[in-house]
Amino acid sequence: MTRVLAAVAWPYANGPRHLGHVAGFGVPSDVFARFMRMSGHDVLMVSGSDEHGTPILVLADSQGVTARELVDTNHAIIAHELADLGCSYDLYTRTTTGNHYAVAQELFAQVWKNGYMIERTQKGAISPSTGRTLPDRYIEGTCPICGYAEARGDQCDNCGNQLEPEDLIEPRSKINGETPDFVETQHFFLDLPALAESLRAYLEEREASGTWRPNVIKFSLNILDDIKPRAMTRDIDWGIPVPLDGWRDLPTKKLYVWFDAVVGYLSASIEWARRQGNPERWREWWNEADALSYYFMGKDNITFHSQIWPAELLGYMGKGDKGGEPGIYGELNLPTEVVSSEYLTMESQQFSTSRGHTILVRDVLTRYQPDALRYFICAAGPETSDADFTWRDFVQRTNSELVAGWGNLVQRTATMLHKSFGEIPVCGPLASEDKAVLAAVETGFEVVGGLLRRQRLRQATAEAMRVVGEVNAYISRTEPFRMKGEDQRERLATVLHVLAQCVSDCNTLLAPMLPHSSNAVHRVLGGEGDFMPMPQVVEVTDLDDGRAYPIITGDYSATPAWGRRPVVAGTPIAKPAPAFVKLDESVVAEELARMAD
């Protein structure tokens, strides 16, 4: 048994989540975590809502609410969406907790103490009316190169040249049209060059493991070549105070949102331990050298997980050119694996909330079964290359694979059991074809398990479905539905017993991908209660400041083992109701029309 940290990227709390988020890391991380629990590992899966940063502030202003009000609303929405999808977090929390503030500040302070936070002056754009940093992309003006009037502060969309916002002719704020002030401002920069050698050693060691996806490790090594110090504070009044004398009380200086967002993996682990009543227990996943950690995210986050976060940890431990000492958290484990997905596109275009080209998770969940969405993501998600979601494919995959392939096998098996015996019958002598199908299905545990361990979800799903096909073929070969006579009674019992066993095994194979329906199938086969434990949204109070907020948590200790569980003769089988809903073809047109609105 190994300790496994499943660290899932923190959704930004600027609104409900769209399909791209859950396809990239929400569902894949949950499938992995569930499988690792089934394999007997001690899994800690954490995530939360990322709530700081300029976009939240801008959005809150535009809606006439405070940033805190905005994130309170959105955090609750996101927590429910993820829980409804079945994502089995041990803790899904948020970045505005007292605990998170304290942990982020401890990290920052120790990195500073070790000399890896260097103070520098930089030229920045400030909004004159609010005193807040105006990020480059919130500035527009006329491009000095091509004269395009709508150039952004960082790049001109017309000529493609990279720009400095100061170069723009007649720069203006995209938020309110005012002319930004370009001022000298003091900030702390993470001294990445001083950590580069340690980072390279770490990444080369990870590369040698051969387990990272090729593009992730290549990209990570590549960006080391022109590594520069990176600002870790901002002129903004929404965020975590800089924990240094002379800075702590400055109302407009806060930690850069990305500095604190990645700290969330550690702070959430600590919050989880505190809520368990065992406040040091997080150390088993973070301090013990043989613990494993898997970080799940989209490809736009690779930099932050393979460079910034390891650099923060190395700086915290004093493992850079300038030396230093670890802080109170001790020696912390660097990511074992950075599991980055590509992008999900929607009807061939990138998701875009601002352009309304989007599908919200909660809309899908109100209209369709959560496992239909999970199945699509598992079978056709953006695992190693961009993938396209279309309603036609969604309906097609659901109907022909999930319903007609797997659901139908469950349904026909249960119906025959119910009609012939009303229970799982006693198994007689096995014929060679019985032994063959039982062996083929059992092999699935090794094959599918090996793939899931390596986060090869698409292939794992395809392999599990291939096993389902073998069992359907077994029914065609043995034709139990034709065994009517009393003289065939024993043979019928044996075939149906074997079938019940195979369906039970397939259900286990698919349980990481389809936890909700695994529970339904479990009951169809006469089981009690749930097969796979499910997460819950629980209202808690902040451990430090007493405010109430919802979290996702759950007790997953009853997770079944990965392997065959012998079915028990005599288990009653009721007349089954279909576990999977077939979608009408009209869904395609309906959803496309909905998107066009």
- Interacting positions 304-363 with RNA (CB under 7 A): 304, 343, 350
**193-232 binders of RNA (CB under 7 A):** 214-215, 218-219, 222, 231
Coil vs helix vs strand at 301? helix
In this chain, which of 476, 486, 546, 566 binds RNA, going by CB under 7 A? 476
Comparing C-alpha atoms, which of 545, 550, 514 is closest to residue 532?
514
Q: Is 124 in the site for RNA (CB under 7 A)?
A: yes
Per CB under 7 A, the list member of 81, 84, 337, 401 interacting with RNA is 401
Q: The dihedral of CA 220, 221, 222, 223: what is its sign?
A: positive
The DSSP string of 236-255 is -SSSPBP-STTTTT-TTEEE
Check if the beta carbon of residue 308 is closer than 8 Å to that of residue 262: yes
CB of 418 to RNA, least distance (A): 9
Select 113 or 182, whichever has its Cβ closest to RNA: 182
Measured from the CB atom, is 302 or 364 closer to RNA? Answer: 302
Q: How far is CA 419 from the centre of its chain?
A: 43
Q: Among the candidate windows 110-118, 370-378, 474-482, 502-510, which touches RNA by CB under 7 A?
A: 474-482
- Per the document, the length of the chain is 597
- Residues between 418 and 457 that touch RNA (CB under 7 A): 419
Tell me how far, at minimum, the Cβ of 261 lies from RNA, in Å.
Answer: 5
Which string of DSSP letters, residue by residue, matches 13-52?
A: SSS--BHHHIIIIIHHHHHHHHHHHHTT-EEEEEEEEB--
Stretch that binds RNA, among 107-115, 324-332, 462-470, 546-554 (CB under 7 A): 462-470
**Binding residue (CB under 7 A) for RNA from 26, 28, 135, 425:** 135
Task: Find the binder of RNA among 136, 178, 442, 544 (CB under 7 A).
Answer: 136
Could you say whether residue 511 binds RNA (CB under 7 A)?
A: no
Of 469, 545, 568, 570, which one interacts with RNA (CB under 7 A)?
A: 469
Closest to 298 in 3D by CA, of 33, 47, 94, 9: 9
Binding-site member from 263, 364, 380, 460 for RNA (CB under 7 A):
380
Q: What are phi and psi of 272, to 5 degrees?
A: -60, -45
Instruction: Please state, in angstroms and rounded to a whole number, the distance separating the CA atoms of residues 271 and 281.
Output: 10
- 250-309: contacts with RNA (CB under 7 A): 257-258, 261, 299-304
Under 8 Å between Cβ of 419 and 561:
no
For 300-452, list the strands marked E by DSSP. Answer: 337-341, 344-346, 349-350, 387-389
- Nearest-approach distance from CB 440 to RNA, in angstroms: 12
94/275 with CB nearer RNA: 94
Which of 275, 458 has the CB closer to RNA? 458
Of 473 and 558, CB closest to RNA = 473
CB 486 to RNA: min, Å: 17
Q: Which residue has the tokens 């923190």?
A: 10
Using CB under 7 A as the binding rule, the residues of this chain from 145 to 164 that contact RNA are 152, 154-155, 160, 162
In this complex, which beta carbon is closest to RNA, that of residue 89 or of residue 376? 376
Q: Which is nearer to RNA, 20 or 86 (CB)?
A: 20
How near is the Cβ of 302 to RNA at its closest, in Å? 7
Nearer to RNA by Cβ, of 313 and 379: the residue is: 379
User: What residue has token string 């793939």?
Assistant: 451
Q: How far apart are CA 430 and CA 421, in angstroms?
A: 19
- Residue type at 280 in one-letter notation: E
Size of the site for RNA (CB under 7 A): 76
Between residue 35 and residue 64, which ones bind RNA under the rule CB under 7 A?
A: 50, 52-55
The window from 276-284, 287-295, 469-477, 543-551 that contacts RNA (CB under 7 A) reads 469-477
Q: Which is nearer to RNA, 123 or 547 (CB)?
A: 123
What whole-number distance in Å separates Cα of residue 183 and Cα of residue 123?
Answer: 5
- Report how far residue 369's alpha carbon sits from residue 212's, in angstroms, rounded to the nearest whole number: 32
**Is the distance from CB of 20 to CB of 299 less than 8 angstroms?**
no
Residue (of 227, 354, 281) closest to 46 by Cα position: 281
Q: Which is nearer to RNA, 41 or 466 (CB)?
A: 466
Check: CB of residue 354 under 8 Å from CB of residue 361.
Answer: no
**For RNA, which residue of 63, 121, 122, 536 counts as binding (CB under 7 A)?**
122
69: nearest Cα among 88, 80, 81, 56 = 56
Window of 17-25, 73-81, 529-537, 572-580 that interacts with RNA by CB under 7 A? 572-580
The tokens for 510 are: 């698919």
